[in-house]
């Protein structure tokens, strides 16, 4: 690694990859030097927009070039394992988009390899960067709720209401709504309440999406409903849906936490967010405003730029490399989420509660 800056390469050229590019470029300790994409024209276009000097069509060539210290992976799920392993073997720090892998075994292997190599590793869950989610987390830690008894987590949008083929809903390539959105709410649940012990699940596919080539495939779910039981005894419901019309909200994430000391409710959408709370002695709910000092340079009217100002997400990854500090969420968190996803698939098949594997001693 260079003495003053972390040199980064990004695998992926989608609109979502550009969120990572903006976050990386905002950090004074980062140098965005390379991008890899299978379509050279598209990769060249993105590189020009962000003044990225090196363009690759083969991620392996970028990894082997010696030009980067770390890689950010924004590629389809089935590519996360091979890209990560190649990067770790080359001595690179890795940030990988959610879900970490397509199986719990692969996620565990990624975590173990990164730890053995002594490299920094982050499993990227974008909702953890949100100011409202972070403030909710701080309220829990400060004892607003006391012991939490029950909770509700949901994440819905309608971006895939059409019938065009999408790799996320091809069971050979993705885990459907459970993998694409479920990983967010499972991570939220673990972040707020701790590890999950048991899962019951019902998965549905409601829209037929024929493959353009005409080749039949096994469809993955576009709607998922889970009941979970935590190690600490709390329980919760979870739901994810990618075919739910959300109008001006675009996407809606709802979190309800009910505890001995009261209740907290967060509705987080693309058009705004509201956090409400009621202590056990309150007669009504009240809106909880994020304290001004917590915004730290972010205009509350433009919360979407938090990833370009605070040490969260990509910026936290860079900080951890520069300062040699641990990262959260790490590949460990990505592995634990993948275990719950896999357990939910088993529960859907069995029609009964299934236990999440415990860590090996």
> Domains of the chain (ranges plus CATH)?
6-126+313-329 (3.40.50.720), 128-304+338-350 (3.30.360.10)
Pairing label, strands 6-11, 30-36: parallel
Residue 296 reports pLDDT greater than 50: yes
Residue 361 reports pLDDT greater than 60: no
Phi, psi dihedral angles at 236 (to 5 degrees): -155, 160
Give percent of the chain with pLDDT exceeding 70. Answer: 99
Q: Which of 96, 69, 98, 67 is nearest to 84 (CA)?
A: 96
- Output the CA torsion sign for 157, 163, 167, 171: positive
- At 198-240, the pLDDT tens digits run 999 999 999 999 887 888 899 999 999 999 999 999 999 999 9
Chain mean pLDDT for the chain: 96
DSSP 307: G
Residue pair 13/37 in contact (Cβ under 8 Å)? The answer is yes
Output b/e per residue, 99-116; b: 16+ Cβ within 10 A: bbbbbbebbbbbbebbee
Residue 1: the pLDDT is: 46
Q: Kindly report the CA angle at 260 between 202 and 291, in degrees rounded to 5?
A: 95
Residue 212: the pLDDT is: 77
Which residue shows structure tokens 């790490």?
330
Gap between the Cα atoms of 220 and 179, Å rounded: 10
Q: What is the pTM of this model?
A: 0.95
Gap between the Cα atoms of 107 and 119, Å rounded: 16
- At 44-100, the pLDDT tens digits run 999 999 999 999 999 999 999 999 999 999 999 999 999 999 999 999 999 999 999
- With 0-12 / 13-18 / 19 or more C-beta atoms within 10 angstroms meaning exposed / middle / buried, residue 137 is middle
DSSP string, 184-237: HHHHHHHHHH--EEEEEEEEE--S----TT-----BPPSEEEEEEEETTS-EEE
The set of residues, in sequence order, having a beta carbon less than 8 Å from that of 198 and lying 6+ positions away, is 228, 229, 353, 354, 355, 356
Residue pair 153/255 in contact (Cβ under 8 Å)? The answer is yes
- At 6-43, the pLDDT tens digits run 999 999 999 999 999 999 999 999 999 999 999 999 99
Residue pair 103/342 in contact (Cβ under 8 Å)? The answer is yes
Output b/e per residue, 57-72; b: 16+ Cβ within 10 A: eebeebbeeeebbbbb
- At 111-162, the pLDDT tens digits run 999 999 999 999 999 999 999 999 999 999 999 999 999 999 999 999 999 9
Q: How confident is residue 174, by pLDDT bands cut at 50, 70 and 90?
A: confident
Residue pair 50/24 in contact (Cβ under 8 Å)? The answer is no
Residue 213: the pLDDT is: 83
CA atoms within 13 A on the CB side of 130: 20
The set of residues, in sequence order, having a beta carbon less than 8 Å from that of 279 and lying 6+ positions away, is 144, 261, 262
Residue 2: the pLDDT is: 45
SS3 172: coil
DSSP string, 120-166: -EEEE-GGGG-HHHHHHHHHHHTTSS-SEEEEEEEEEE-TT-S-S--
């Amino acid at each position: 690694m260079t003495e003053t800056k972390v040199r980064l390469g990004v695998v992926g050229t989608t609109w979502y990859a550009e969120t990572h590019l903006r976050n990386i470029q905002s950090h004074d300790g980062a140098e965005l030097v390379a991008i890899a994409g299978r379509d050279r024209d598209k990769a060249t276009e993105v590189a020009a927009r962000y003044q990225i000097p090196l363009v690759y069509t083969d991620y392996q060539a970028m990894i082997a070039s010696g030009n980067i210290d770390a890689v950010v992976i924004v590629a389809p799920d089935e590519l996360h394992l091979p890209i990560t392993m190649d990067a770790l073997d080359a001595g690179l720090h890795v940030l990988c988009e959610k879900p970490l892998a397509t199986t719990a075994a692969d996620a565990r292997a990624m975590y173990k390899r990164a730890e053995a190599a002594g490299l920094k590793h982050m499993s990227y869950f974008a909702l953890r960067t949100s100011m409202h989610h972070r403030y909710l987390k701080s309220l829990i830690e400060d004892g607003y709720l006391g012991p939490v008894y029950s909770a509700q987590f949901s994440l819905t949008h309608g971006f895939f209401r059409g019938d065009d083929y999408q790799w996320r809903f091809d069971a050979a390539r993705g885990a459907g709504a459970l993998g694409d959105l479920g990983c967010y709410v499972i991570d939220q649940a673990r972040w707020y309440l701790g590890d999950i012990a048991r899962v019951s699940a019902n998965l549905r596919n409601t829209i037929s999406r024929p493959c353009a080539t005409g080749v039949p495939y096994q469809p993955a779910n576009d709607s998922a409903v889970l009941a979970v039981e935590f190690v600490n005894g709390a329980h919760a419901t979870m739901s994810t849906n990618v075919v739910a019309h959300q109008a001006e909200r675009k996407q809606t994430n709802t979190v309800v936490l009910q505890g001995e000391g009261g209740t907290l409710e967060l509705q987080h959408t693309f058009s705004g967010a509201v956090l409400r709370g009621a202590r056990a002695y309150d007669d009504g709910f009240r809106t909880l405003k994020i304290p001004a000092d917590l915004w730290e340079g972010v205009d509350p009217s433009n919360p979407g730029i938090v990833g370009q100002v605070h040490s969260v997400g990509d910026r936290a990854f860079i900080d951890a490399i520069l300062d040699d500090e641990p990262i959260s969420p790490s590949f460990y968190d990505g592995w634990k989420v993948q275990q719950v996803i896999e357990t939910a698939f088993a529960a859907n098949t069995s029609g009964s509660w299934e236990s999440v594997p415990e860590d090996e001693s």
